[in-house]
Amino acid sequence: MMWKFFVMAALCSAITLAGENPYIEPKTPEKMPFSATLTPGGAVDITLDGQRYVVKADFSLRPGWAKFTEDKAEGFTAMTCTGKELTAEGSGFKLVRRIEMTDEAITVTDRITNTSSENLPLMYRQYVTIDAIKEYRLCGYRIYSSHGAGNDSINSTTIVMPEEGGSLGMLALNDVFRVHFKAFARRKSYGIGDDELVVKPGVTQEMSFALFPSRASDYYSQINAMRRYLGVNYEIPCGFTYMAPNPKGVKSLHPDYDQLGKDSTVEEIRDRLNYKSVDYVCDLAVPLLGEPHQGSAWLELCNPQLHREFHKKIREARPTVKIFHFFHCFIEFKDRLGKGFENDKCLLPNGNQADYRNPNVPLYLPIEGGKWAECKEKTLDKLKNDFGVDGIFWDEFPYSAARYHYGAPWDGVSADIDPRTHEIQRLKSSVPLITLPWRKRMVEWIADNKLMLIVNGGGAYTRTMMEFFKKNKFIAFRETGAISNLYVTHLSTPIGLADHITERNEKDCYHNIVKHLDYGCVYFYYHEQVAPFTHETITKHMFPITPIELHEGYIIGKERILTNRPGIYGFGDASEAELYFYNADGYEVERKAKAIKKDGKLYYEIALGEMESCAIVRK
């Protein structure tokens, strides 16, 4: 039996709480009273409450470096500075820098023009030097050594917390900076950079980043400010799972349950979907019936009728469901390789074709005008017209097993650069960049056809695509073979996919849901190998959620707060809530909670033990 426990504020007067539980509610964003200007040496000088940060810059020369420092620019032949804008000339390039301030951030834009007659390699770095720090993070990960590096293109951040208090966050913004992104720490300097940038002759490359000085001295305060700046706090409507029309007898990891499939009854499907509490279902290919997972052969060998019949059962079982289908734009299968794709191969530095860690699974690039791109467009068209899906699930959205392509065509901005001589070793192309025009056109096609989109990879990856995701409320998640992968999602939709490697039973499944809250993230189910086979769990009360703040142990949304930590929780106003408690085995349990009125606001005292959780749902 399931219980709902309703706590009414009208029944409770203000109570003085014993214990050390903190009051937790969404913070009202405040305008940071910082000042920012460009120094005589071109660095960005920031002050906040007596705290000062001087963000310096390095630009590679051949050999050596040009530098923006506090006192003077080094390695430049000329520079003029007016406080918010400067112009500088270096060896083979001209740079115009501007800074703009918003409530919580300083945006820095550098426009770099190659004034030479040859490709200009330009390693680009921004950093702050702090003698004593409490903590620092690269791409979300806390680093405990004095030196570190990271290269995530979604959580493209370095965040440093000085020993004396406060913090400074650094966030790469533009497409090229993000795909080349490198976070670093060394010699008490903490920064962000691009060690792979090339500017073509006569071309101006814009590089932009944002700086977040803060009174707070913790990672999640910085992340929440960045999320507000990027505008990525939009609704995640419902839960998700995979399901395929497999033949009968395909076993799950639970000995008493088969995976659902084409022979499953409507009642069996209904129970499984209801126990998972999901309304987004992703259909998968059925290799057991001769259908390839993906690739060019899928177009000829797929069975739309089989899938439509399966979709009919799913929709009858749970009428609120939206059906997605799996899609991948990079993988082919050598034994079923189509013709005409010779010019679309993704190449390694040695000229060999890149593969999916298996030579029988080669990788191709969907580039505008290419045959492989045409093949993938036909796949999407077939999913819409013959399968009648409600949306597309796009696996490995920005790239697959290879991030760079070493062949024609060139993306015009990427190269391997010798770290000592600063010369170009070889040109290369970022897969997310060179495929961006085609992928963006396909995403626009998806939106224009009123289809939904969910992607795997953690986020949109580039600023260009992120803006389109925001406009259309498209969703991204990250796989969690390592649960720390959830850091990647912190500047996107904060969703993790279930861990198909370690989840082996219902309890494992629930415990992983609880661990997602350690990162301020919500949870999507994987396929049918592991599921709640006998009961609903906290995912019943997880959606819809529009994130306001992420924290270690809980996530605050407009509609609900999800937590695995004891505390005194409220929505920052007098809103009443319904409370749903789950024990360490993942079952809903009846539990009493105190309601507290304080300063015209309503809070609930939540007591939780290890691996317990609570959904606080605004009425």
Residue 115 pLDDT exceeds 80: yes
The average confidence (pLDDT) of the chain is 94
pLDDT digits (tens, 9 = 90+) for 236-256: 999 999 999 999 989 888 888
Tokens representing residue 330 in the block: 């990079």
Question: Average pLDDT, stretch 348-377?
Answer: 97
Answer yes or no: is pLDDT of 501 > 50: yes
Query: 164: domain CATH number?
Result: 2.70.98.30
- pLDDT for 254 equals 82
Same domain, 579 and 443: no
Tell whether 288 and 372 lie within a shared domain: yes
Residue 92 DSSP label: T
Task: Identify whether 344 is part of a domain.
Answer: no
> Do residues 479 and 497 touch, judged by C-beta distance below 8 A?
yes
Q: With a cut of 80, say whether residue 590 has pLDDT above it.
A: yes
Is 335 within the bounds of a domain?
Answer: no
532 pLDDT band, cuts 50/70/90, is: confident
**What tokens were used for 453?**
């989109």
Residue 357 lies in a domain: no
Could you tell me if 259 and 147 lie in one domain? no
Between CA 596 and CA 13 the distance in angstroms is 7
The reply to whether 219 falls in a domain is: yes
Residue 391's CB is within 10 A of a number of other CB atoms, namely 22
Q: What is the pLDDT of residue 299?
A: 95
Asked if pLDDT for residue 11 goes beyond 80, the answer is no
Domain check: are 117 and 57 in the same one?
yes
Q: What is the pLDDT of residues 171-220, one digit of tens each?
A: 999 999 999 999 999 999 999 999 999 999 999 999 999 999 999 999 99
In a domain, 269, yes or no: yes
What is the CB neighbour count within 10 angstroms for residue 407?
17
pLDDT at res. 336 = 86
The dihedral over CA atoms of 401, 406, 410, 416, expressed in degrees to the nearest 10, equals: 100
Q: Is the pLDDT of residue 13 over 70?
A: no
One domain, residues 151 and 288: no
The structure tokens 């849901």 sit at: 513
529 in Cβ contact with 261 (< 8 Å)? no
Contact call for residues 424 and 314 (beta carbons, < 8 A): no
Q: In terms of domains, do 111 and 247 share one?
A: no
| pLDDT score at 4 | 40
CA angle, corner 274, sides to 272 and 279, nearest 5?
105
Of residues 151, 115, 113, 59, the one with CA closest to residue 430: 151
Q: Give the type of residue at 507.
A: K
Same-domain pairing of 150 and 94: yes
**What pLDDT sits at residue 14?**
31
The H or E element that residue 327 is part of is: strand 322-327
Whether 154 is in a domain gets the answer yes
Query: CA dihedral defined by 435, 437, 441, 446, rounded to 10 degrees?
Result: 40
Which of 477, 506, 531 is the endpoint of a domain?
477
Query: Can you give the pLDDT at residue 141?
Result: 98
Indicate the residue among 203, 230, 257 that finishes a domain. 230
Position 16 confidence tier, pLDDT thresholds 50, 70, 90: very low
Please give the Cα distance from 364 to 527 (Å, whole number): 27
The CATH number of the domain where 287 resides is what?
3.20.20.80
Cβ proximity of 212 and 105 under 8 Å: yes
| pLDDT at residue 17 is higher than 50 | no
Helix/strand number for the chain, H first, E second:
10, 41
pLDDT category of residue 562 using cuts at 50, 70 and 90: very high
Which residues are CB-contacts of 440 (< 8 A; sequence separation ≥ 6)?
464, 465, 468
Q: Is the peptide bond before 409 cis (omega within 30 degrees of 0)?
A: yes
Q: Which amino acid is at 138?
A: L
CA–CA separation, 128 vs 217, rounded Å?
A: 16
Do 216 and 298 lie in one domain? The reply is: no
The whole-number pLDDT of residue 5 equals 38
Q: Does residue 191 lie within any of the structural domains?
A: yes
Range list of β-strands (E), 441-593 = 452-456, 475-477, 495-497, 522-524, 547-551, 554-557, 560-563, 567-569, 577-582, 588-589
Q: In angstroms, rounded to a whole number, what is the distance separating the alpha carbons of residues 402 and 434? A: 13
Q: Which tens digits make up the pLDDT trace of 257-296?
A: 888 999 999 999 999 999 999 999 999 999 999 999 999 9
CB 95 within 8 A of CB 84: no
Give the C-alpha separation, 442 to 448, whole Å.
Answer: 10
- In terms of domains, do 270 and 396 share one? yes
Contact, 44 vs 52, CB < 8 A? no
Which of 230, 254, 288 is a domain's end point? 230
376: left (phi over 0), alpha (psi -120 to 50) or beta: alpha
Residue 153 in any domain: the answer is yes
pLDDT band at 381 (very low <50, low <70, confident <90, very high): very high
For residue 234, is it left (φ>0), alpha (ψ between -120 and 50) or beta? beta
Q: Is the pLDDT of residue 19 over 60?
A: no
Q: List, for residues 434-450, the tens digit of each pLDDT value.
A: 999 999 999 999 999 99
The residue segments making up the domain with residue 55 are 35-230
pLDDT, position 3:
40
pLDDT more than 90, % of the chain: 91
Helices (H), 169-277: 175-179, 219-230, 266-276
Burial of 315: CB neighbours in 10 Å, binned 0-12, 13-18, 19+? middle
> Do residue 254 and residue 212 come from a single domain?
no
Determine which helix (DSSP H) or strand (DSSP E) holds 380, and give its type and residue range. Answer: helix 371-382
Same domain flag for 78 and 157: yes
pLDDT in the model for residue 7 = 39
> CA Rg, the chain, in Å?
26
Question: Which pLDDT band holds residue 15 (cuts at 50, 70, 90)?
Answer: very low
pLDDT, average across residues 401-413: 97
If one counts the domains in the chain, the total is: 3
d(CA 375, CA 341): 9
Residues 82 and 42 in one domain: yes
Q: What is the mean pLDDT of residues 65-84?
A: 95
* % of the chain surpassing 70 pLDDT: 97
Whether 500 shows a pLDDT value over 90: the answer reads no
